Amino acid sequence: MDDRNLYAAPASQVVATQGPAGRSDEFYIVSVRKFCLLFIGTFSLYQLYWFYVHWARYRRVHQLSLWPVPRAIFSLFFAHALAARIDESLRASGQRFAWAPTTAATVYVVAQLISNLADRIPWPGAAEPIATVVTLLMIVPTGWALLTFQRAANTACGDPAGESNRRLTAANYVWLVLGALVWLLIVFGTAMSFLPEQYLEEP
């Protein structure tokens, strides 16, 4: 005689589906291509969200009481700490990634300081375009440093290529369109500031 309860719900094994086997969500995972598009396309504003998600995931996994929002806004003071956390995770996981976390964090901090100073120093009128150019140039070392962070984080999480987050979402496209408008305004304004005054005077 079959003693099973005919009215009981069928038993099944529940398996977590959180991505590729061995992958961790300790840090934010994103592909190099997607990171570069969003970082450059949004005039580096993407880094605010980027820092926030890294710290939010780290807090959730380790059940800490740290605040991701202040650490994203004041990233200058927490860049070295994030680099250290990523490096610790790399070592603990046994994953290999050749990088210098302190150097990457220092490059980020210095580039941000130069950019901030260029924006805040009261330049003479003729020198204002130079300040804009300096700010634009600082995007390069800033992006290099954060991309180094990202590649290390991807490796630490078991997804070196960032395959689990390589597709652009609808929200990503909206930010890219807005970023393109900002870029157009900045480039146009900078180009106009370099023109001789006689070309800017009304006829």
| Model pLDDT for residues 93-146, shown as the tens digit of each residue | 888 899 999 999 999 999 999 998 887 776 666 566 777 788 889 999 999 999
Mean of pLDDT values over 4-8: 40
DSSP 4-15: S-TTSPPP----
Q: Is the pLDDT of residue 22 over 50?
A: yes
- pLDDT at residue 196, as a whole number: 53
CB 20 within 8 A of CB 164: yes
Q: Is the pLDDT of residue 20 over 80?
A: no
Ramachandran class of 109: left when φ > 0, alpha when ψ lies in -120 to 50, beta otherwise? alpha
Q: Running DSSP on this structure, what letter comes out for residue 71?
A: H
pLDDT in tens, 25-84: 999 999 999 999 999 999 899 999 999 999 999 999 999 999 999 999 999 999 999 999
Exposed, middle or buried by CB within 10 Å (0-12, 13-18, 19+), for 98? exposed
Which of 91, 112, 197, 96 lies closest to 155 in space, CA to CA? 96
Dihedral angle at the C-alpha atoms of 116, 42, 72, 34, nearest 10 degrees?
-130
pLDDT in tens, 174-185: 999 999 998 888
- pLDDT at residue 21, as a whole number: 52
pLDDT in tens, 154-163: 999 999 999 9
- pLDDT at residue 125, as a whole number: 61
CB count in 10 Å sphere of residue 30: 22
Distance CA 108, CA 76 (A): 8
